[in-house]
Amino acid sequence: MGPLRSLVSMELKGVSAIVTGGASGIGAASVRLLAKGGAKVVIADLDRQQEVGEALAKEVGGAFCAVDVTNTEDIINAVEMAKSMGPLRVLVNSAGIGWAQRTIGKDGSYDSAANIEAFKKVIAINLVGTFDAIRIAATAMSQTEPLEDGERGAIVNIASVAAFDGQIGQNAYSASKGGVVGMTLPIARDLSASGIRVNTVAPGLIDTPIYGQGDQSEAFKSQLQKGVLFPQKLGKPEQLASMVLECVTNSYMNAETIRVDGGIRMPPK
Q: Which residues are catalytic?
A: 173
- The phi, psi pair for 69, rounded to 5°, reads -70, -5
Q: Give the whole-angstrom CA distance, residue 208 versus residue 36.
A: 21
Q: Give the whole-angstrom CA distance, residue 140 versus residue 29.
A: 24
